[in-house]
A and B are shown apart, each in its own frame.
Chain A
């Protein structure tokens, strides 16, 4: 990363001004054979992380694809980085997408390219080749995910967790303003999952990147809401009890095509909705 941002102790930007919004969903609806999302509205502020929770098939991944413009909504407006993308042409989306990073559920690394070529993909598109500067940035991004030694390997030679970490390095190498994580810990063992979540928290707290994170693992969601990244210790540590530290993490729960809950971890734990209680149990 070219220049580390301010440490976690620095307060985040105000969430209310329109320019502080990274992403806005305004009454977004989409159906395939059956309705998937119906009038979904929420906002994501700069530096904020929203964790999308819900049962399988409730449209969590679809929300990420809508935010990226890979899928167009049937109704409603989606604004990303102050640009209305709902009716934007595919060709016009490419420039905007260079400011967004996406970590796919199965990593989606290019299997015929090395780790270095995968991570440098966006940069190679601009220069046509791997220059010394690009190589240095790749190593820096790989060091961030603690995989600096793997740059000349192919994705097939990596474990599932390592592939996920390379996908994170690929997503963050250009320091995008918005990061989208699609089940980054899905199918991984608890230790590797924790490593991935630590990287997500590190990106959130060190670089203040706004993000949407889809997960089925409540444990990961609560870890994000109850931990911060300590730059001095260079590791994720729990927020001290009674501390006023804001980890800028909010939860969104989807059910029956709609958002049924949006709030902090504390608000979620206090929620009396029977379904939410059952979901948490």
Chain B
């Protein structure tokens, strides 16, 4: 195996960032031009949104439940058990709902996009599409980006709601909190900035998941092994990017509100 040349590796990374940026940019500008593939977008929305619903419901519910369980013991020490609803609401809406849903959808759909588009790439189907005068970014990437951004927005809301319900079940049945108290503290804790943060993050995460998945798929090479590699890289990159960008986005939004 030849020795890795540092400048070559660096050049490859810069080219990869450039290619990703171009693909991501075009996936957005395509929204404003013709043709638009509504049927493909709806199909992807069904696959991503409806397909991810069971795991989002399960994970959202149990995350809220375990959050209430874990924090209750600490809150009890300070005599603030009544604040459980507030804590679960803020944690789920601001952070856990969007991030956990994003990582789940990244694991499920970023890999799916990378493997599907990667298989098309290595079997020359993408080239065939280009050869027939069809823009693959318009036909394949933009519908996935639009569908993921839209669906992740709603999935995060569902996750937040289920998380609050999970927290309520623990608070009501195990901690003996009053239902009205739980929901009132949860509701009153949320301000515009919290809700804005909770709803803006899925939009950014949805774009990351879909654009990263499509980028690795569209740049796959090296047969089935290459498709496997692209799939793994897509999930890892999307998940890491979600966590890292979440930090900077949180910092920015906290300064804004």
Please give the residue numbers on chain A whose beta carbons come within 8 Å of chain B beta carbons, in ascending order.
Answer: 65, 68, 70, 90-91, 93-98, 100, 102, 104-106, 108-111, 121-122, 125, 128, 170
Question: Bound complex: CA of A273 vs CA of B120, how far in Å?
Answer: 42
Q: With both chains docked as a complex, state the minimum distance between the C-beta of B32 and any C-beta of chain A, in angstroms.
A: 13
Which of B124, B128, B131 is within 8 Å of A100, CB to CB?
Answer: B131
Q: Contact: B125 with A108, CB < 8 Å?
A: yes
A106–B135 touching, CB < 8 Å? no
With a cutoff of 8 Å between Cβ atoms, the chain B residues found around residue A104 in the complex are 124, 127-128, 131
Residues of A within 8 A of B39 (CB): 128
Counting from the closest, the 7 A-B pairs by CB-CB distance are A108-B128, A108-B124, A98-B133, A97-B133, A102-B131, A94-B133, A104-B124
- Chain B min CB distance to A184 (Å): 14
Across the interface, which residues of A come within 8 angstroms of B135, CB to CB? 90-91, 94
Q: Which of B123, B130, B132, B134 contacts A111 (CB 8 A)?
A: B123
B51 at the interface (CB under 8 A from A): no
Q: Distance in Å from the Cβ of A243 to the closest Cβ of chain B?
A: 36
List 7 A–B pairs whose Cβ atoms lie within 8 Å, in order of A's numbering.
Answer: A70-B131, A94-B135, A109-B125, A109-B128, A111-B125, A125-B134, A128-B39
Task: Report the separation of the CA atoms of residues A121 and B125 in the bound assembly, to the nearest whole angstrom.
Answer: 12
The interface size of chain B toward A, counting residues with CB under 8 Å, comes to 14
Decide if B123 touches A108 in the complex (CB within 8 Å): yes
- Judge whether B35 is part of the interface by a CB distance below 8 angstroms: yes
Look across to chain B and name the residue whose beta carbon is closest to the beta carbon of A118.
B128
Task: Tell me which residues across on chain B come within 8 A of A106, comparing CB atoms.
Answer: 123-124
A70 CA / B128 CA spacing, docked (Å): 10
Chain A residues closer than 8 Å to B132, beta-carbon distance: 97-98, 102, 121-122, 125, 170
Residue contact B124 to A97, C-beta cutoff 8 Å: no
- Complex interface: chain B residues within 8 A of A108 (CB): 123-125, 127-128
Chain B 134-165, CB-CB to A under 8 Å as 1, else 0, gives 11000000000000000000000000000000
Bound Cα distance A111, B125 (Å): 9
Measured between beta carbons, the chain A residues less than 8 angstroms from B133 are 94-98, 122, 125
- A97 and B131: CB pair below 8 A? yes
List residues of B whose CB falls within 8 A of some A CB: 35, 39, 120, 123-125, 127-128, 130-135
Asked if A94 and B134 make an inter-chain contact with CB atoms under 8 angstroms apart, the answer reads yes
State A141–B58 Cα separation when bound (angstroms): 51
Cα of A95 to Cα of B130 in the assembled complex, Å: 11
Chain B residue at smallest Cβ distance from A174: B132
Contacts of B131 in A (CB 8 A): 68, 70, 97, 100, 102, 104
A125 and B125 within 8 A (CB): no
Q: Give the Cβ gap from B12 to chain A, nearest Cβ, in Å.
A: 13
How far apart are the CA atoms of A100 and B132 in the complex, in Å?
8
Residue in B closest to A96 when the chains form the complex, CB atoms: B133
Q: Which residues of B contact A125 (CB under 8 A)?
A: 35, 132-134
- Residue ID in chain A nearest B39 by CB atoms: A128
Q: How far is the CB of A274 from chain B (nearest CB, A)?
A: 35
A98–B134 CA distance with the chains assembled, in angstroms: 9
Contacts of B124 in A (CB 8 A): 104-106, 108
Residues of B within 8 Å of A93, CB to CB, are 130
A186 to B7, CA, bound (A): 40
B207 to chain A, nearest CB (A): 22
Question: In the assembly, what is the distance between CA of A217 and CA of B120, in Å?
Answer: 28
Residues of A within 8 A of B134 (CB): 94, 121-122, 125
Q: When chains A and B are docked, how far (Å) is the Cα of A108 from the Cα of B127?
A: 8
> For residue A65, which residues in chain B have a CB less than 8 angstroms away from its CB?
127
Complex Cα distance A97/B125, Å? Answer: 15
With the chains together, A104 CA to B127 CA distance in Å?
9
Q: Which residues of A contact B128 (CB under 8 A)?
A: 102, 104, 108-110
Task: Give A108 Cβ to nearest chain B Cβ, in Å.
Answer: 4
How far, in whole Å, are A268 and B55 apart by their CA atoms in the complex?
67
With a cutoff of 8 Å between Cβ atoms, the chain B residues found around residue A121 in the complex are 132, 134
A278 CA / B127 CA spacing, docked (Å): 35
The residues of A that contact B127 with a CB separation of less than 8 Å are 65, 70, 104, 108
A70 x B130 contact (CB < 8 A): yes
Q: How near does chain A come to B134, taking the closest CB pair, in angstroms? A: 6
Give the residues in chain B near A102, CB-CB below 8 Å: 128, 131-132
Given A94-B134, A122-B133, 5 other A-B residues pairs in contact with their CB atoms under 8 A: A70-B130, A104-B128, A105-B124, A106-B123, A108-B123
Q: Which of chain B's residues have a CB closer than 8 A to the CB of A110? A: 120, 125, 128
Query: CA A108 – CA B124 in complex, angstroms?
Result: 5
Question: A97 vs B136: C-alpha distance in the bound complex, in angstroms?
Answer: 14
Cα A105 to Cα B123 in complex, Å, equals 10
